[in-house]
Amino acid sequence: MASPLDIIGITKTFGKGERQVEVLKHIDIRVEPGEFLILVGPSGCGKSTLLNIIAGLDEPIGGEIRIGGNNVVGVAPKDRDIAMVFQSYALYPTMTVAQNIGFALEMRKVPMPQREQLIAEVAAMLQIEHLLDRRPSQLSGGQRQRVAMGRALARKPQLFLFDEPLSNLDAKLRVEMRAEIKRLHQASGITSVYVTHDQIEAMTLGSRIAVMKGGVVQQLGTPSEIYDTPANTFVATFIGSPTMNLVNGGAAANGFAVAGALLPLDCPAPEAQLGLRPEHLSLDADAPWRGEVSVVEPTGADTYVIVKTVAGDVVLRCPPQAGVQPGEHVGLAVNAQAASWFHPATGDRLHA
């Protein structure tokens, strides 16, 4: 049965005196049994430090980590019943794949017949049965990462921790391994926490996402909540590729005034930043908001069009055959129902 994880008031500082820096600021997150939580944010936001504290590789100065209801702060990593997958694979080079997968079981004095059965089950799940007699030096990067996950799976822990496991792989293999990790989680049902700086990984893998900045959780929610209703402009611009367009303007009698154009939008404040995802803008010859096409970027399934306006550059996600060229003057239509609004000074989300 999957176990819950409770992160309660976790605080962490590095340094002393004037050089002391608070890297985690009273983090509170409840991870439900069987949930896949993503910790995402830029370098230095505190996500890896939080994972290390959960794992027992570092200790907080305040707060509790509860795994299955038990506070494990001060408990050695080996006694927390967790399994961790690193970006470096951390395989034993002199051992075969089978020996690597079964090493933790051997250390736990699991009998040989049971150990062999677990290794076989995990190898079948990961589709690496044909690799069991090889050593890590004879494997590709993706195969090594499968072995590292197999070693973690074989233990059947209460909690899985992933520390940027795909960052050393090439782009094609990352896509394949993302799907593999998601499939494994669905099959095992083990509560998991996954650290990444890649927002695509966060959106595709997570049951919920915790977006972090400066040691603070900026927003905690499902991928759709994070993408559709970002809590502030940091989340709005960190999650999503291309990023959300932000445009300054103000409320007018019949809409939202931006750079000399009046958009048919209900602005919730006298002044605001309008947030629009690239797919919520479209080309319309009759639209009052106008600009000049500066860049056209075909990607196959979509074409990104960058339009220079008086309010700044905006990016549109258009059909493959956008039918525009750099230098053309175009009108921009807005999907009013998809608009996000933010306070121009604080960046916090405004509610209509």
Question: Residue 289 belongs to a domain with what CATH number?
Answer: 2.40.50.140
74-95 mean pLDDT = 88
Residue 177 has pLDDT above 90, yes or no: no
Instruction: Among 202, 237, 272, give the residue marking a domain's end.
Output: 237
Indicate if 92 and 133 belong to the same structural domain.
Answer: yes
Indicate if 199 and 86 belong to the same structural domain.
Answer: yes
Indicate if 145 and 29 belong to the same structural domain.
Answer: yes
Contact by Cβ (8 Å): 6, 27: no
Contact by Cβ (8 Å): 140, 91: no
Indicate if 202 and 156 belong to the same structural domain.
Answer: yes
Q: In what order do the strands lie in the sheet with 208-213?
A: 82-86, 159-163, 191-196, 36-40, 208-213, 216-221
- What pLDDT was estimated at residue 16? 86
Indicate if 219 and 266 belong to the same structural domain.
Answer: no
176-196 mean pLDDT = 89
Residue 198 has pLDDT above 70, yes or no: yes
- What pLDDT was estimated at residue 78? 87
Indicate if 15 and 133 belong to the same structural domain.
Answer: yes
Indicate if 295 and 212 belong to the same structural domain.
Answer: no
| pLDDT tens, position by position, 218-269 | 999 999 999 999 999 999 999 998 999 999 999 988 899 987 788 989 999 9
Q: How many CB atoms lie within 10 A of CB 116?
A: 14
Contact by Cβ (8 Å): 145, 177: yes
How far CA 90 is from CA of 27, 95, 120, 133, 140, in Å, comes to: 29, 12, 21, 18, 14
Contact by Cβ (8 Å): 64, 11: no
Gyration radius of the chain's alpha carbons:
24
| pLDDT tens, position by position, 136-165 | 999 988 888 889 888 888 888 899 999 988
Check: pTM over 0.85? Answer yes or no: yes
Indicate if 208 and 318 belong to the same structural domain.
Answer: no
CA angle 267, 271, 276 (to 5 degrees): 55
Indicate if 159 and 15 belong to the same structural domain.
Answer: yes
User: What is the residue-averaged pLDDT of the chain?
Assistant: 92
| pLDDT tens, position by position, 309-323 | 988 999 999 998 888
**Amino acid residing at 19:** R
* Parent domain of 307: 244-350
> The domain that contains 135 carries what CATH number?
3.40.50.300
Tokens of 109: 């004095």
DSSP state at residue 270: S
177 or 58, greater pLDDT: 58
Contact by Cβ (8 Å): 72, 10: no
273-295 mean pLDDT = 95
Indicate if 323 and 202 belong to the same structural domain.
Answer: no
Indicate if 27 and 160 belong to the same structural domain.
Answer: yes
Q: What is the DSSP string of 89-120?
A: ----TTS-HHHHHHHHHHHTT--HHHHHHHHH
Instruction: Among 191, 216, 237, give the residue marking a domain's end.
Output: 237
Indicate if 230 and 254 belong to the same structural domain.
Answer: no
How far CA 246 is from CA of 52, 226, 249, in Å, comes to: 35, 16, 10
**Count of domains in the chain?**
2
- What pLDDT was estimated at residue 352? 65
Residue 1 has pLDDT above 70, yes or no: no
Instruction: Among 180, 203, 237, give the residue marking a domain's end.
Output: 237
Contact by Cβ (8 Å): 87, 162: no
Q: Which residue has the tokens 């002199």?
A: 94
Sign of CA dihedral 178, 184, 186, 192: negative
18 or 246, greater pLDDT: 246
